Structure 1
Amino acid sequence: MQCDYLTLISKNESLDAFPLTDDNLSSESDGETENFVPTTLDYAATVSRLPASTLSQLEKFLFPNLISNGVTAIEIFLYIRNHILYLWHNESRIELTFEKVISRLHPPYNKYHSLAKDIYDYLLRYSYINFGIFSLIKPVTKCGKKVIVLGAGMSGLCAARQLENFGFDVVILEARDRVGGRIHTFQVDHLVGDLGAMVVTGLGGNPIAVFDQQLNLDLSKIKQQCPLYNSRGGMIPRDKDKIVETEFNQLLEAASELSHQMNFNSFQNENLSLGNTFDQVLHLQNVKTKRAFVQHQSIIIQIQESIETVLNDLLVIEDLIRTRTQLLSNVKEIKCEVFRQDEVSTTNQEYSLQLEDDINSLFSEYDRLKGNLTIQESRLQLLNENKMNEVYLSISDMKMLEWHIANLEFANATIIGNLSLQHWDQDDDFEFTGSHLSLQTGYSTLPDAISKGLNIHHSIAARNVQYDTEQIQITAENVKDKTTLSFECDIVVCTIPLGVLKHPECITFQPPLPADKQQSIANMGFGVLNKVVLCFKQRFWNPDIHHFGYVNPRSRGEMFLFWNVMKTPVLLALIAGKAALENEKLKDTVVLGKAMSVLHKIFGEDSVPEPFEWCISHWGNDPFSFGSYSYVSPKSSGKDYDQLAMPVLTPEQNNALNSDNPEEELHLPRLFFAGEHTMRNYPATVHGAILSGFREAGRIADLYLT
């Protein structure tokens, strides 16, 4: 019993992660939107992040008898499972009941009533079906347990809604006066701009695809074209940008090879960062380039010296040929009167032959040297035509490289030097497929819809969570009037952002969280990305260009990228990396001025009016987030995400679990955690937050429901 219990609560990936590739997942597209509603049973499994033709790890754990019963049993299981998923994805606005499943199963599969019920219950429990906003057909059976969810971001909202569907009494405590957390849409009149999350990173496998079907979200494809502008506002030729981008990617690949192929991940007992390794690779490339340049120049000098020697030799030979030719001419005219005519004739003839041989030899040597000269001159011409760069990247190229680094820092919400060399991209294999999309009504549309009907207490910040084996007591503060409130419950789901957990003065736990979890909280990174939303009366930019970059000569992440993803005249300027932190120290009007200055350079001052409304995010200073999203620091790895996802036991519960006494009472955990910072395979994403909420709802149901 204890072994099964331990296994159950440590099953962090209850929503199995199945890497999605273009080979196993595609979509139908009408140009503007993509359709990921499955048309086959296998496809239904794939868009649910499950392998279509094999059991997932969770399924092997939940259905161990399938493996022992052979291939046929597994095939039956997979057909029924995939069929249920197909039914749900094609009719996701209405609760999928078991009765409907049985009525839709074809013979002979409909005779496996008991197995089908187990599969249905499993898919329901782990939120593969019946999630989001849908009409309930059957009344919910209450279980009598009260759950308090801390935070009304996407993880908290999704956990709360699923737990309510499972029969729990759920209350959400939200410190803000709105839902959504780090999803926050700024709106003025009909114009919207997202200050937080703003991109749906592919629908293939994404639960947001189901929300799209249920809510008819206004999603639009984001075009990938991104022209770059230099510090003077001139457009950088695409071929030039492509060359630098290729070099940037090769430098990243070289750093990755050092880590993953050569296992070079630490130095002097310190884990290496991607930043310092990238700098070292760049330095080595500079050294290599300089050495190649010196060698190239050395060869040129050698050839030039060789050509000079050959030319001198040719002059000497020309002079010798000239003197010997003249001498030969003189010999033939000599009239010797001293000697008999036959003797003179013999002497002249021998000497003439000798001179002729010498002249022929000189001509042969001349031709040889002339040929050598031609070869050397050709080599010199070739070397001069294929000039070697004296430096790896020019000053302007380096600035473009800095822009690509800023883009990476935007993706990770921190400077490149804060990222783990070994683990910074550990979730890459689990990226969803499909185009990146923007929500035209603003991303807040999603949490606003999911929150409807939920019991949410706004402006209430949890300050202390006291938990034991029987119940949980929460001390909270009304952030508006600073009054203190108390709440009691059976279970808590903590979806408080990692940035807040890193500030123990904001919230405390009694007993303190386990040392391993505290260490993971300290080790994991939590970064900052800020945005400037600019609302204009009309566009002065090309509406077909959805983003354009600016190579900032002073601060690479400052206003380095502008987004035009709305169909209305709204621009979003991004502030990433070090600049994101530095700009939070400035007055908003100063930051606004920086954004407008860039637009003036690119489009001209006369073409750029003042925005009639604007807003700037300050996620780093936000007391309810202290940042934007998580990243893997040199001190952390994917294992820290798993540790942050673990439910917490009291010391007494841990003692009971480790006890050999079979009569020792075993109590269930009452403190659970969700949020993007708890999703190893989908961190720093909205869908990761959603899936973490589903995971914890399933885990709690596993432990507290029969």
Structure 2
Amino acid sequence: MSSGSPSSLSPPPEDKRNHANGAVARSRRQNVNYGIRNQYLASLTERELNGLNVYRCEDDDLSIRTAAAQARLPYDRMTLRELELFPEMARSQHSVALFLYIRNKTLAQWQFDPLLELTLGAILKELPEPFNSDVELVTSIHNYLERYGYINFGVFTRLSVREFDKKITIVVIGAGAAGLAAARQLKFFGFDVIVLEARPRLCGRVFTYHGGAGLPPIDLGGMIIKGIVGNPLITLIRQTQCNIVEMNQKCPIYDKNGKLIDLQKNEMILNSLNKILNTICYIVHEMGVTKIDEDSPNSQNNNKNVAKKGGRKINLGEAIQLILNQNELRVKTRLMKYWQRFEQLCNKLKDAGEKTKAYRNAIDTCMDTLNQNGAFFETPDAYDLTFNGSVSQDLLNRKLSLRSMRQCLKIAVNGYEEAVQERREIEEMKNEYEKMEPSHVFMNDYDKRILDFHFANLESSIGAPLRTVALKDWDQDDLYGFDGSHITVKEGLGTVLEQVGNDLDVKLNCIVKNIQYDARGVDVSYFVNSRPENEKNGGGSQRIERILQTIRADAVLCTVPLSMLKKTVLTDDIMSDASAIRFEPKLPNWKTEAIARLGFGTFWDISKTCFGHLNETTASRGELFIFYSIGDLPILTGLFAGEAASVTGHLEDRVIAQNAMKILSKIFGNNCPTEPLKYIVTRWHLDPFAYGCYSYMKNGSLPEDYDKLAEPLYIDNKKDFARVFFAGEHTIKQYPSSVHGAFLSGLREAGRIADIFIGPLSPLGGEIDDEGNDENNCIDGQGILAFECQNQLNIKENKPGTSNQNNQNNKNQNIAVKRAKVNRNGINKNYNGENNGKEN
């Protein structure tokens, strides 16, 4: 996962994002611009991260920019949701600036101290004059930020108590990051929350293993937090006061003999792979090509039919292989042209040799003729045609013949010398050309093994073999990738999430089998494993009884992995399948189609937090291809990715551990022990409540499928009331396949459930007719709302942490929250203190 991927797959990179020496840059798209300077926050050290002194900064511009970025909101623009809730604030630049300042200031105040609930009274004290004068606006902004999980989330001390006139029960299925986030937030809102978890532990696919006997904890599931700017897990780490370890982006790669591979060669291979991905991006997004026409004599009949309908969709693995083949063809074509030119030179050399030989023969013939007639160049009388008297015809003919032969000899000698020179020049040209012989292949076997390592890295980042991944939108979530370092939690990411689950009503070992819902409520039936009463205190039998129980609730939030939803869709006999859940009524077609389309994977040196290893074949490229360490802890985590992940299901733990030790011994020699102190193999793809690591864009899927999986099951198709809700990493298009995405989806659904059962937040003014509700969509097309709010308002403010004591006209400074009483019609907060004689 992007933030904490299960250990059977390596984390991104993420590009979303490097694993190995600048490994594959997944994204070909530009990230969302929140209008801030992220470099400061992205480069925070561990000390700064834990203190986050930026929120104490007297430079208010920096603090509010940073606060907005950490909340994944643009600091200088209103989102579409904000325009819906605050339409009157968008009518002028001044009102927009006012809204943005109060919103960003509230965010900064929360992030300054996330251990304590940020109450309305506290923010009114911190706002400088005159921004705290409009109590209704400040209240609405505070309610909005709280409702949708921008403030007051995670593990913090509550200062207010929320109560309903009537008890409202919400059942949350699954105690992973999404379920725990939603349950804790719903409890904070005042709901009665029950969490049902099938496993005997919390945290789902985040699993921190505690080996005991002095061994440090180790993450065997989600482990790496990728990026800190905007990542909600950073807030959780601060709240739980855990320690972080920054990942070293440089990852040395070792060959099968234990030697480091050539860095220059690796850089060349990596550049080639990135060029291939860039080429795919251009072909897909600029040319619109996602299919191939297989209508050829060698094609199968069904493929011909597909071709006639516009061709067959190809996956990412096929596209990469096609481009590799094209590069191979280009190399072969270049090689063929080289040999054709070489053949021409050889033919010219042969012709020059034959010409030289012909002139040599002509010279020999002339010399023989002259010798036979006793004529030499040294005896010119033999050629003299001057006579003192009469001469015989024979003598005249002889002299003329010798004279002609001598002329032929001169011509032959000159021709021979020219032919020899020509041959010498052609031979030199041929020798030089031989040195220019191009490569016979695009990549040799050694190159391919390095490329296979990066393919395995890419497969682990995506969460599936490349042959199953969608070509067009495989990296669609990279648009929302977080900036900053990659980090791990020294105590384990599970330790962080376990504290989120504190004080929640969590029932472990409860396997949900049926969800029956209608307009009146929801019945959730589940099996709970327990020992019979008469055997609990005795030894002997370890028999476990499965007792079917049912909970009546007002709504249910389903956060089970996508793999379990797939089992629900595909399994006929729900009761015989440990993980399948029956929905009554059945899930609608639009939901089941989206479930079917999206994919789900079944899948030292202490200064180096990771190092890679080259395997011998393409088929084995993902076997223990990379190892991760956590600081100075004596722990190494080896990963399997892609097709190789299935190998773990057929091998014993001992065999896998031995293979890992063989690899490590070749790399580190005698420094490597012969046996590990302890080892464990996860096999997430065989876990009955996971069946893999995380979702991915399968070939044929669409980004909108994430939105459909997040859509509640509305009663009677009415968009204003639902009983069944969905959360999880597979339901958030912006941050799928990540722990932070799962957590954010839980906060999202908590807000949605509150909107339905408590009541939506009322807009301050008229309605805005806009269907979009993406927190990252902003109105800035004409530049009306895209401006720096500090340039619009003259702000003089107290330092954070102090209160404004100079307000004589408004007595809101001393407001403190005593209790918030919630009814069905909305939230009414009763405060103890003066407020112009009125209660808000």
Compute the TM-score of the two structures, normalised by the length of structure 1. 0.86
Q: Distance in 1 between matches of 2:349 and 2:364?
A: 22
Given that 1:47 and 1:204 are in contact with CA atoms closer than 8 Å, whether structure 2 keeps it comes out as: yes
Q: Distance in 2 between matches of 1:305 and 1:288?
A: 25
- Per-residue CA distance 1:8-52 (angstroms, 9 max, x = gap): xxxxxxxxx982589741235466666465542122212211112
Show the counterpart of 1:306.
348
Show the counterpart of 2:783.
none
> How far has the Cα of 1:378 moved from its partner?
5.6
Q: Distance in 2 between matches of 1:48 and 1:265?
A: 36
Given that 2:35 and 2:74 are in contact with CA atoms closer than 8 Å, whether structure 1 keeps it comes out as: no
> How far has the Cα of 1:357 moved from its partner?
13
Show the counterpart of 1:86.
108
Show the counterpart of 1:293.
335
Partner secondary structure for residue 118 of structure 2: coil
AA matched with 1:339: F
Given that 1:147 and 1:171 are in contact with CA atoms closer than 8 Å, whether structure 2 keeps it comes out as: yes
Q: Distance in 2 between matches of 1:42 and 1:362?
A: 89
Asked if residue 542 in structure 1 is aligned to residue 616 in structure 2, the reply is no
Q: Distance in 1 between matches of 2:126 and 2:36?
A: 29
Asked if residue 208 in structure 1 is aligned to residue 208 in structure 2, the reply is no
Higher relative contact order (CA 8 A, sep 6+): 2
Given that 1:27 and 1:434 are in contact with CA atoms closer than 8 Å, whether structure 2 keeps it comes out as: no
> How far has the Cα of 1:163 moved from its partner?
1.0
- Per-residue CA distance 1:339-379 (angstroms, 9 max, x = gap): 259x9xxxx9xx999999996998699569847954x4564
- Change beyond 3 A, Cα 1:328–1:702: farther
Show the counterpart of 1:387.
437
| Match 2:589 to one of 501, 515, 524 | 515
Q: Distance in 2 between matches of 1:249 and 1:479?
A: 51
Q: Distance in 1 between matches of 2:749 and 2:714?
A: 15
- Per-residue CA distance 1:501-532 (angstroms, 9 max, x = gap): 11123211111111111111121111134xxx
Q: Distance in 2 between matches of 1:142 and 1:159?
A: 18
Show the counterpart of 1:14.
none
Comparing 597-606 with 634-643, greater Cα deviation is found at: 597-606
Show the counterpart of 2:712.
647
AA matched with 2:242: L
Q: Distance in 2 between matches of 1:369 and 1:120?
A: 95
Q: Distance in 1 between matches of 2:31 and 2:494?
A: 28
AA matched with 1:496: V
Asked if residue 135 in structure 1 is aligned to residue 135 in structure 2, the reply is no
Given that 1:18 and 1:50 are in contact with CA atoms closer than 8 Å, whether structure 2 keeps it comes out as: no
Count of aligned positions: 664
AA matched with 2:346: Q
Show the counterpart of 2:387.
339
Asked if residue 115 in structure 1 is aligned to residue 157 in structure 2, the reply is no
RMSD across aligned positions (CA): 3.3
- Per-residue CA distance 1:505-561 (angstroms, 9 max, x = gap): 3211111111111111121111134xxxxxxxxxxx222222222222241111111
Q: Distance in 2 between matches of 1:698 and 1:184?
A: 27
| Match 1:445 to one of 479, 495, 503 | 495
Given that 2:355 and 2:419 are in contact with CA atoms closer than 8 Å, whether structure 1 keeps it comes out as: no
Show the counterpart of 2:534.
none
Unaligned residue ranges in structure 2 (runs of 5+): 1-29, 56-61, 293-305, 392-398, 531-544, 569-573, 575-579, 759-825, 827-840
Comparing 235-244 with 379-388, greater Cα deviation is found at: 379-388
AA matched with 2:614: V
- What is the percentage of aligned positions where both structures have the same residue? 31
Partner secondary structure for residue 128 of structure 1: coil
| Match 1:41 to one of 64, 69, 86 | 64
Asked if residue 414 in structure 1 is aligned to residue 464 in structure 2, the reply is yes
Partner secondary structure for residue 549 of structure 1: strand
Partner secondary structure for residue 670 of structure 1: strand
AA matched with 2:461: A
Asked if residue 571 in structure 1 is aligned to residue 636 in structure 2, the reply is yes
> How far has the Cα of 1:314 moved from its partner?
5.3
Given that 2:470 and 2:697 are in contact with CA atoms closer than 8 Å, whether structure 1 keeps it comes out as: yes
> How far has the Cα of 1:336 moved from its partner?
4.4
Show the counterpart of 2:248.
223
> How far has the Cα of 1:181 moved from its partner?
0.3
- Per-residue CA distance 1:541-596 (angstroms, 9 max, x = gap): 22222222222224111111111224211111111112212321332222222222
AA matched with 2:584: Q
Q: Distance in 2 between matches of 1:513 and 1:419?
A: 25
AA matched with 1:517: K
Comparing 388-397 with 20-29, greater Cα deviation is found at: 20-29
- Per-residue CA distance 1:591-629 (angstroms, 9 max, x = gap): 222222322333347843211211110211211112111
Instruction: Identify, as 1 or 2, the structure richer in helix.
Output: 1
Show the counterpart of 1:249.
274
Comparing 214-223 with 140-149, greater Cα deviation is found at: 140-149
Partner secondary structure for residue 462 of structure 1: strand
> How far has the Cα of 1:310 moved from its partner?
3.4
Partner secondary structure for residue 210 of structure 2: strand
> How far has the Cα of 1:201 moved from its partner?
0.5
Given that 2:664 and 2:672 are in contact with CA atoms closer than 8 Å, whether structure 1 keeps it comes out as: no
- Per-residue CA distance 1:89-126 (angstroms, 9 max, x = gap): 11222111222222222233333332222222111111
AA matched with 1:672: F
AA matched with 2:452: E
Comparing 496-505 with 250-259, greater Cα deviation is found at: 250-259
Partner secondary structure for residue 96 of structure 1: coil
| Match 2:97 to one of 60, 75, 83 | 75
> How far has the Cα of 1:476 moved from its partner?
0.9
Comparing 602-611 with 296-305, greater Cα deviation is found at: 602-611
Show the counterpart of 2:810.
none
Show the counterpart of 1:498.
562
Given that 1:20 and 1:205 are in contact with CA atoms closer than 8 Å, whether structure 2 keeps it comes out as: no
> How far has the Cα of 1:636 moved from its partner?
1.0
Given that 1:332 and 1:352 are in contact with CA atoms closer than 8 Å, whether structure 2 keeps it comes out as: no
- Change beyond 3 A, Cα 1:174–1:360: same
Given that 1:229 and 1:235 are in contact with CA atoms closer than 8 Å, whether structure 2 keeps it comes out as: yes
Given that 1:18 and 1:51 are in contact with CA atoms closer than 8 Å, whether structure 2 keeps it comes out as: no
Q: Distance in 2 between matches of 1:438 and 1:337?
A: 108
- Change beyond 3 A, Cα 1:333–1:34: farther
| Match 1:551 to one of 614, 635, 648 | 614
AA matched with 1:497: P
Show the counterpart of 1:259.
284
Asked if residue 589 in structure 1 is aligned to residue 640 in structure 2, the reply is no
Partner secondary structure for residue 482 of structure 1: strand
Show the counterpart of 2:204.
181
Unaligned residue ranges in structure 1 (runs of 5+): 1-16, 530-540, 658-666
Q: Distance in 2 between matches of 1:390 and 1:649?
A: 62
> How far has the Cα of 1:303 moved from its partner?
1.7
Q: Distance in 2 between matches of 1:428 and 1:444?
A: 25
Given that 2:366 and 2:405 are in contact with CA atoms closer than 8 Å, whether structure 1 keeps it comes out as: no
- Change beyond 3 A, Cα 1:30–1:42: closer
| Match 2:77 to one of 37, 54, 57 | 54
- Per-residue CA distance 1:151-201 (angstroms, 9 max, x = gap): 111111111111111111111111111110000011222322211001000
Q: Distance in 2 between matches of 1:85 and 1:363?
A: 95
AA matched with 2:660: A
- Change beyond 3 A, Cα 1:573–1:22: farther
Partner secondary structure for residue 722 of structure 2: coil
> How far has the Cα of 1:304 moved from its partner?
2.7
Q: Distance in 2 between matches of 1:106 and 1:210?
A: 26
- Per-residue CA distance 1:202-235 (angstroms, 9 max, x = gap): 1111011212222222111111222222233332
Partner secondary structure for residue 205 of structure 1: coil
Show the counterpart of 2:674.
609
- Per-residue CA distance 1:311-338 (angstroms, 9 max, x = gap): 5545666888999999995585668485
Partner secondary structure for residue 616 of structure 1: coil
Partner secondary structure for residue 217 of structure 2: strand
- Change beyond 3 A, Cα 1:338–1:54: closer
Show the counterpart of 1:668.
721
